[in-house]
Structure 1
C-alpha cells in the first residue's frame, strides 16, 4: 500500500470514528429528551388535576396543598373551553397579560390575543391536549416543552458545531505547520542536491573537452550527445537551486520551448513511441524555461510509462484569445486513468508503478500553479485508450498572426 492510500484510509477511519461519536451523542440526547418529555407530560396532567381540585373543593387545607402542587409546574400551558375561548394560562410572557382597572373599580383580565393565538397554535403542534371535566364543562389544556427541554434538544447540535469548528481550526493550523516543515525540508534537500551535482558536472565538462583534444573529435556525434546530457545535468542542478525562491518568468514563444524539449526527449526513449507536435507557433507566455522543461519532462515520462510498449504521444498548443490563455495538451495512447483518480494522480505519493515515488505529477502541479500561475488537470482519459493532460497558462502577448481555438 502506497503512502497516499494509507493516509486516505486513516482519514476515512477517523471520519468514521467521528460519525460514531456524533451519532452516539445525538442518540443519547434524544433518549434524555424523550424521558424528560414524558416527565413533563405527567407534570402537565398533575397540574390539570390540581386545577380541577381548586375549582371543585372547599377544603382549605387540601387546597393549600393543591396550590403548592399546581404552582410547582414550570410547563407553559393554556387552558381553553370547548369553544376555544381562553380560560387560564401558566408560565407565559407576563407582559402579554395584565389586569385592567375598570371605572367601577373592578379588575378584568385582558391579554394580547395575537400572542396567545400564536402560542396556542405552537402548543397544538407539539402535544395532544389534556381533556378535563370541570363543573360539567370540558376544558382543554394545551402545553409546550419547557425552556430546559427546548435547550436540551438543540444542545447537541450546538455542541457538535463548536467541536467541529475547533477541530477544523486545529486541523488547519496543524496542516499549515506540517506543510511549512515539509517545504523547509524540500527546499533544503533541493539546494543540497544542486550543490552536490556541481562538482561532477564540472568534471564531466572538463573530461569531454580533454577527449575532443586528445582524439581530435570536435565533430564526433557521440561526444556531442554527451555534451547535451551534461547540459541537461546543468539544467537539473539549476532547477533544484531555484526551489524555494521566486523564479523569474520571461516571455517565451511556447511552441519553441516545447519543441526544443521534445526534440531532446524523443531520442532518449524507445523508437516504438512516436512523437507529434503541432499548434500555433506564435503564442507567448511567461515561462521559466528550466522549470517548465521539468514540467514537460514529468508529463512525457508519465506518458511513456503509461504506454508500456508501442504507442504515440501528441503535444498540441492552442489558445483562447478572449480569455487570453495558452493551452498545452499532452495526449498519450497508454492505459488511461479512472475518472475517480483524475484529482488523485496529483497527490504526493500516488503512483501505479512498483518502484515509483509518486512525486512527478505532484511537482508538476506545484511548478505550474505556484511558479507559473497556471493550471494543470486531466482533460480527458479512457481506460485502455489513453489520457490527455492540459496545461493552461496566461497569454502575455497575442501576436497578430495568432488564431484562436
Structure 2
C-alpha cells in the first residue's frame, strides 16, 4: 500500500451541476505518515480538499464513492435512504470477501429499520446519561484499584494490560452480569478474539467459546435474573439467539473502543506535554478534554453505507446499490468544521465530532465510554504526576491491522517515592 493514494488514468467525472471532478480513486489510503501515529491516513487531507465526496473504484470493481468531508458524512449517516446492511456493502479494502454475510442476530451495526429500531428501542433505556452517571462510583473504584496495583508494582508497566483494558472490561462484565469467578476466563477469550495478529483459526475458536459462554449466561439469567443488563433484557421479546448476539455486540462495542481510547489517548497526551499539563492542573476540564481526544484520535475511522435508492448528495447523483465509504477521522479533522483541526487543544469545544458516528446507528454505549474516560484520565495523571513513556515513541507498537486503531502496548514508567 502506497502512502499517497493513486488515481485511475480515466477521464475526470462530472457532478450533477456539471462541475469537473477528479478521476476515480483506485486505492483507499490505509497507511499513516511516518512519525504521525495520531493523524488520519496519509493523503486524506488532500483528498478532502480536492473533493469531500469523490468517486472510488473498489477492489471488486464496484464504482462507488469516498466521503471525507464532515458535512457530507454527517448527511450520509443521518439519511435512512442509506443502508448499513453488511450484505449490501462493497468492501474498500483488498483481500476481503466479495460479499459479507448478513448481520447475525443481535448485531445492531449491520441491520436497518425496522429490525434496528426494535433492538435499539430495547437497549436505549439501558444506556441513558442518567443511568451511566450512576455507574461513576463503580468506575472510580475499579480505576482506583488498578492504579493501586500499578503503584505497588512500580514502573515500567504496559498501560494497556495494567489499566486501559481492564477498566472497561470489568465494567462490561458488570453490565452483562458475568459472575466474578468467571471473568478472568471470559476476558482471556475476548483478548484472543480481538488480537488480529493471531492465526484466524485461533480467533475463530475464541469466538465460538465466547458465543457458547454467552448462550449459557443468557439461559442462567432467564432462570435466575440478577441486577444486570442481560437480566433486564431477558424479560423482553428477544429470543435466546438474539439476546446472545446482543451480549456479544455489547462486549465488542464497549470494550475495544474504550480500551484503545484510554491507551491511545494517554499516548497522545504524553506526546503533547502542554495539553497533559492542562488536564493535570485543571481536572474540571475532563469532559471537554475527552471530547477533544475523541475528535482528534477518532480510533474507529472507516465505515460504509449503500444507497437503497437513487438520491442526490453534495451535488452528486448517487445510484441505488452504490456504496459510500467514509473516513470519520478525515471528517473530524475538517477545517470547515473545526478551526486548526490538526492541533490537539483540550480547551476546544469539540461538539459535533463524529467519533461516535451520527444518526440512527450512533454508538449506543457512548455515555458509558464517556463516564469511563472522564474518570480514568484525570485519575491516572493525578496518581502519577511524572508519568512518561518507558520507550522511545517510535517503538510503541500500533494496531495497524485492526478495526479499532490504537496501541498494542504502551510501556510507561514514573518516578518512585
TM-score scaled by length of structure 2: 0.24
TM-score scaled by length of structure 1: 0.24
| Greater per-residue helix proportion | 1
Higher relative contact order (CA 8 A, sep 6+): 2
Q: Computing the radius of gyration over CA atoms, which structure comes out larger, 1 or 2? A: 1
